[in-house]
Amino acid sequence: MPYAVKERRIDGGQLVSPAPKPALDMSVNVAGITLKNPVMAASGSFGYGVEFEDVVTLDRLGGFVVKGLSREPMAGNPPPRLFETAAGMLNAIGLQNVGVRAFLEEKLPLLNNIKNIVFFCNVFGHSQEEYEDVVRMLNDGAGIAAYELNVSCPNTKCGGISFGSDPKMLFDVVSAVKKIATRPLIVKLSPNVTSIPEVARAAEEAGADAISLVNTFVAMAIDAETRKPRISNVTAGLSGPAIKPIALRMVWEAAKAVKIPVIGIGGISTAEDVVEFLLAGATAIEVGTVNFWDPCACETLVDSLEKWCLEHRIEKISDLTGGLTIE
C-alpha cells in the first residue's frame, strides 16, 4: 500500500507533485521462508486452516500453523477443557487431533487447493521416536513450508518430564528430528523453564532453523462454590493478554541469546502488540487466543499493522526487528 501523493503550491501558484514515497514492504524472512507479512495464526487456535477459509482471506496472512499432529489420532481431554480468566484463557484440550495420516489424506489436499498461502505443521510426540515418525511421514506431503516442534509435551519414557524443560532432552529430540526433516525446523519453546536463553541456545545448537515462543503457562482455576477445579485436567495452559508482558520479556531474552530467527507469541491482539514483539527481537509473530473471540482477528491485524507502519512512515517492517532502544 503506497503513501498517498498530494500536490502542493509553491511561490507563483505553480502546482508541484512531490516525489512519491516508496511502497511499504511488509515481507519478512523466517528460516529462508518469505512471508508476505509477519502475522501468522498460531497452532491450536486456527484448526487445520481449511476451517477458516470461508471466514478469513487466508492469503492475506503471513502464514498459519496447523493444529498439532501426533503419530496416532488423539481424542484429547474430557470437558470442561476451556475456562475464561481475567484477560486470558485456560485450555486443556489435550492435543486433540486427527493424527498425521488423516491429515495427509484429508486435510493437506484441501490446503494445497488454496493458492498463495504459507503454512507450517506443528508436530508433537511423547517420545523421541514419535516426533521422528510424524516428521518422516510429513516429509512426503506437498506444500508444507516448515515444521514447528512442540517440545512442551511430557516425555513418557522419562517420567513425564517435558522435553522443553530439560536442555539435554531438548537437544536430543531437536537434533534427531533435524537429521530427517526435509524442511526448515522451528522449535516452539515452553515458558515453564528456569532459563529461556539456555533452552533457546540448546535448540539452536541442535540445529533449529528458528524458534517460536512462548507456549502457554501452566495454571489452574477453582470454583469456590463447588470446591472443584474449573478444568477436568485440573491444570491447564494460560494464554491471552495476561501473559503478554512475560512473553515479551522472554522473546527479548531469547533473541539476545541466539542468532536464528525468533517468532514471538503471547497475548498479541493489536498492531502495537506486534510492533513491541518485533522491537524485542522477533522476526514474525503468531496470534492465538484472540482467534477464539474473533475468527477474523489475524486478517484485521494485518490491516491495522499496515496502517500503523504507514502512519509512522515505516518503509520496511523488517527494520523494526531488534530495534528496542535501551539508554
User: What residues act catalytically?
Assistant: 153
Q: How far apart are CA 43 and CA 25, in angstroms?
A: 26
Q: How far apart are CA 165 and CA 232, in angstroms?
A: 24
**DSSP collapsed to 3 states, 201-249:** HHHHHCCCCEEEECCCEEEECEECCCCEECCCCCEEEEECHHHHHHHHH
Place of cell 511423547: 126
Q: How far apart are CA 1 and CA 88, in angstroms?
A: 33
Place of cell 491450536: 44
Q: How far apart are CA 247 and CA 212, in angstroms?
A: 11
3-class DSSP state of 100 = helix
Burial of 125 (0-12, 13-18, 19+ CB in 10 A): buried
